[in-house]
Amino acid sequence: MSPVVAQDSLIEAYRSRRAELAGAESGWVEELRRQAAERFEETGLPGPREEVWRHTPLDPIRRVPFRPAANGAATLPVDLPERVGEAYRVAVTGSGILLDIPENGLPRGLTIGSLVESLDRVKGRLGQLADCESPGITAVNTALFDRGVLIELAPHVTLDRPVHVVHHVESNGEPRAAFPRVVIVAGEGSQGVIVEHYRSGGDSPTLSAPVTEIFVESNARLDHVRLQEESERAFHVGRVVAEQRSASRLRSWSLALGSSLARVDIETRLAGEGAECSLEGIFAGRNRQHLDHYTRIDHASPSTSSRETYKGILDDRARGVFLGHILVRPGAQKINANQTSRSVVLSRGARVNMKPWLEIYADDVRCTHGTTVGHLDDDALFYLRSRGISLAEARATLLRGFAWEVLKELPVDTLRSRLDRQMLMWLGNGVAGRLES
Amino acid sequence: MLEIRNLHAKVGGVEILRGVDLTVRAGEVHAVMGPNGSGKSTLAHVLAGRPGYEVTAGEVIYENHNLFDLAPEERAQEGIFLAFQYPVEIPGVSNSYFLRAGLNAIRKERGEPEIDAFEFLALVREKLKVVQMDESFLNRSINEGFSGGEKKRNEILQMAVLEPKLAILDEADSGLDVDALRIVANGVNELRREDRAIVVVTHYQRILNYLVPDFTHILLNGRIVKSGDRELAKQVEEHGYAWIEKETAKTSQAEGRTLQA
Ligand SMILES: Nc1ncnc2c1ncn2[C@@H]1O[C@H](COP(=O)(O)OP(=O)(O)OP(=O)(O)O)[C@@H](O)[C@H]1O
Ligand SMILES: [Mg+2]
């Protein structure tokens, strides 16, 4: 039997706190949590018998007696590497949210609120996309979420700068788990960029198990960037679920760089005609990192299109997993779906497992997919070296180029150039200083 | 400047170079011709240091260095440049980054300071003119989506920026239309100087109309079997290699007899 320490500890936490959990006084939230807790008690953390979890055993998490993170001190985490350009900055803490915004406040049409204090506003939305049925962490998140943010773009609003949400979990002395919950509503015809940034600190194991629900109304254009840079003591199991109305566009980036064991699910349902999405991601692991992505694109309406590019970089004994699920429902005709996944494996001990999973029930469908796993291209390395560039620099340059194909359209300049530099330095051979620009 | 003595090299276990001898002095232009598969690119690659070739005998002295003691990047830093027969496409890495990184590596070796972005742009603009390339090529990924001719010009652009002492051009002329051929040849001519040398590997003597060689060599079955001047290239173009093959066969038979005697 696999250990159930984490599960027991978290169910116990739910039982003892349930009366104090946010929304306990409003019937629907309490009911939602109760059902989720029941579900979690039944199923626990997902196991290898579930197809989409086959390559990512959660035993290292199961063994740890996680307790929900204490209500954090109400300060913005100070050790952030940078502000993401000029952004509306929000820190999500256990005791609410902290805003770092210009003196004249938020622009008209943008609402940023603490989710646990805005539960009335998200009735009919919360839990609507992220169901507790599918195996994963949604059930435990729904039972225990104690922090989070609601971001609403009013119809036809165009944001002048990105919203940068910082999730920071810290644990010292004992293992702590955070269950952030995020609801994003991009109103009809609105446009904006939202960055969710996950970080962790402290001397003890942390678990982040966030769930984000995104409603993209018709004609809206939303960019969602998910940057996971947690410490090597962190576990991260997150989920993003979107629903897109007609002629809307969602572009998603998932950048998994940190944590010892990370799994992210990115799912979108193209629920209105003409909706389109692009899902891109990078997972870059070294040492013994295990980084898993599961994506699911549900073509539920005709004339919808999707584009997907995921790239893995694996060194040392790291492990990468990508499963790209594309579902085309019966009657959803005139569908375009393109998926590419590519990985570079830099050492003998590194492994990657990438697979498309196509379920197509309509006939007017153009679907392409391709998966490649390889090493750095020897011809390209020689070409660079033949111009005087050292082997170390050549390797760094090729890796950077590999990642750039995903980063190049990232809609936040400062973040894009910071990550670009980081990829150049990723091999850690100290060449970056000279190579920048 | 370059002295190749009895060079033997294997690729994939097969001996391709079987005793190449060639001496190139500063200021000279050498043409190397030979039928497909005779080992021309192999020779060029061995000189540039491409991994995967096994040198089984012989030596190459370049400017007082034993060439095989130097890594490919060190050879470039010492002034060797190979224009590739098949330039490599590298997605996600811009052409200008590539040029500047190479130039700075070479400058560093020479003890010169790094070139800053501003100076570099001024320099590269000049060089772009030489090969008549548009500035937009600088921001594109290296060779990605370039036409055959654009790739060749891009090689010459790199050469013009890096200013090598010894340039080895592996079929810089193949696949070029007449105008492009002239542009490429002029680009190479601009580099010609008393202290530099150029080795042109080619199938056609037409590039030699613009880039007149001091010597022509015929590489056949991994050896230089005949050397001559500009006229030899014309003869080859007119009559092919068969007559040289025959000639060689005779001499080796004769050699055989002498050995037996
Ligand atoms: N990796 C390899 N393994 C086995 N044989 C190889 C390899 N690379 C090259 N060769 C062989 O070596 C021989 C010489 O090739 P090379 O490319 O040097 O010829 P070349 O003279 O440049 O020809 P071309 O005029 O067609 O460019 C050819 O027969 C080729 O097939
Ligand atoms: Mg060749």
The span from the CA of A226 to the CA of A235, in Å, is: 16
Average pLDDT value for chain A: 92
According to the model, what pLDDT value does residue B260 have? Answer: 53
What does the domain layout of chain A look like in residue ranges? 67-376, 377-437
The atom number, within ligand 1, closest to the CA of B39 reads 18
**Residue burial B218-254, b: 16+ Cβ < 10 Å; e: rest:** bbbbbbbbbebebebbebbeeeebeebeeebeeeeee
According to the model, what pLDDT value does residue B170 have? Answer: 96
Q: Contacts of residue A437 in chain B, CB cutoff 8 Å?
A: 117
Choice between A227 and A25, residue whose per-residue pLDDT is larger = A227
Which among A288, A409, A398 has a CA at the least distance from the CA of A350?
A: A288
The span from the CA of B57 to the CA of B9, in Å, is: 7
According to the model, what pLDDT value does residue B142 have? Answer: 97
Residue A271 has pLDDT above 60, yes or no: yes
Query: Given CB atoms, is A426 within the 8 Å cutoff of chain B?
Result: no
Question: Angle CA(A142)–CA(A144)–CA(A150) in degrees, nearest 5?
Answer: 60
Q: Which residue of B has its CA nearest to A407?
A: B92
Q: Which residue of B has its CA nearest to A396?
A: B93
Which stretches in chain B have pLDDT values below 70? Answer: 252-261
Closest Cα to atom 10 of ligand 1? B11
pLDDT digits (tens, 9 = 90+) for A305-348: 999 999 999 999 999 999 999 999 999 999 999 999 999 999 99
According to the model, what pLDDT value does residue B256 have? Answer: 55
Query: Given CB atoms, is B93 within the 8 Å cutoff of chain A?
Result: yes
Provide the number of structural domains found in chain B. 1
The answer to whether B105 contacts A437, with C-beta atoms less than 8 Å apart, is no
Nearest by CB to A390, which of B48, B73, B84?
B73
Weakest-pLDDT range from A46-55, A69-78, A249-258: A69-78
According to the model, what pLDDT value does residue B92 have? Answer: 94
Integer CA distances (angstroms), A214 to A126, A162, A293, B195, B227, in order: 10, 16, 18, 67, 74
> Model pTM?
0.91
In this prediction, residues A150-179 reach a mean pLDDT of 94
Share of chain A above pLDDT 90, in %: 81
According to the model, what pLDDT value does residue A72 have? Answer: 56
The answer to whether A389 contacts B97, with C-beta atoms less than 8 Å apart, is no
In this prediction, residues A142-150 reach a mean pLDDT of 95
Choice between A437 and B94, residue whose per-residue pLDDT is larger = B94
CA of B190 to the centre of ligand 2 (A): 24
Weakest-pLDDT range from A4-13, A74-83, A110-119: A74-83
Q: Contacts of residue A408 in chain B, CB cutoff 8 Å?
A: 92
The answer to whether A389 contacts B117, with C-beta atoms less than 8 Å apart, is no
Distance from CA of B23 to the nearest CA of A (A): 22
Best to test chain B binding among A387, A404, A410 (most B CBs inside 10 Å)? A387
Residue A157 has pLDDT above 80, yes or no: yes
- Which helix or strand (DSSP H or E) is residue B115 part of? none
Residue A2 has pLDDT above 80, yes or no: no
Under DSSP, is residue A423 helix (H, G, I), strand (E, B) or coil? Answer: helix
Q: Model confidence at A79, in pLDDT bands (50, 70, 90)? A: very low
Question: Angle CA(A405)–CA(A409)–CA(A415) in degrees, nearest 5?
Answer: 100
According to the model, what pLDDT value does residue A437 have? Answer: 37
Which among A230, A200, A249 has a CA at the least distance from the CA of A290?
A: A230
What is the number of alpha carbons within 13 Å of residue A256 lying toward its C-beta? 35
pLDDT digits (tens, 9 = 90+) for A351-373: 999 999 999 999 999 999 999 99
The interface pTM score, or ipTM, of the predicted complex is 0.94
Size of interface A-B (CB pairs under 8 A): 90
Best to test chain A binding among B46, B53, B73, B94 (most A CBs inside 10 Å)? B73
Residue A435 has pLDDT above 70, yes or no: no
What is the number of alpha carbons within 13 Å of residue A212 lying toward its C-beta? 29
User: Which structural domain range is residue B119 located in?
Assistant: 2-260
Q: What CATH number is associated with residue B50? A: 3.40.50.300
CA of B11 to the centre of ligand 2 (A): 14
Q: How big, in percent rounded to 5, are the helix, strand and coil portions of chain A? A: 20, 40, 40
Query: Given CB atoms, is A397 within the 8 Å cutoff of chain B?
Result: yes
Which among A163, A155, A257, A165 has a CA at the least distance from the CA of A215?
A: A155
Residues with CB under 6 A from ligand 1: B 11-12, 14, 16, 34, 36-42, 85
The span from the CA of A332 to the CA of A304, in Å, is: 8
According to the model, what pLDDT value does residue A436 have? Answer: 42
Q: Contacts of residue A342 in chain B, CB cutoff 8 Å?
A: none
The answer to whether B50 contacts A393, with C-beta atoms less than 8 Å apart, is no
Residue A228 has pLDDT above 60, yes or no: yes
Closest Cα to atom 8 of ligand 1? B11
Integer CA distances (angstroms), A109 to A46, A156, A157, A367, B200, in order: 39, 9, 6, 38, 67
The answer to whether B73 contacts A380, with C-beta atoms less than 8 Å apart, is no
Q: Model confidence at A434, in pLDDT bands (50, 70, 90)? A: very low
The span from the CA of B183 to the CA of B185, in Å, is: 5
Closest Cα to atom 6 of ligand 1? B11
Distance from CA of B50 to the nearest CA of A (A): 6
Weakest-pLDDT range from A90-99, A197-206, B48-57, B189-198: A90-99
Q: Which residue of A has its CA nearest to B90?
A: A380
Distance from CA of A430 to the nearest CA of B (A): 15
Cα A63 to the chain's mean position, in Å?
Answer: 24
The answer to whether A383 contacts B84, with C-beta atoms less than 8 Å apart, is yes
Q: Model confidence at A296, in pLDDT bands (50, 70, 90)? A: very high
Residue A75 has pLDDT above 60, yes or no: no
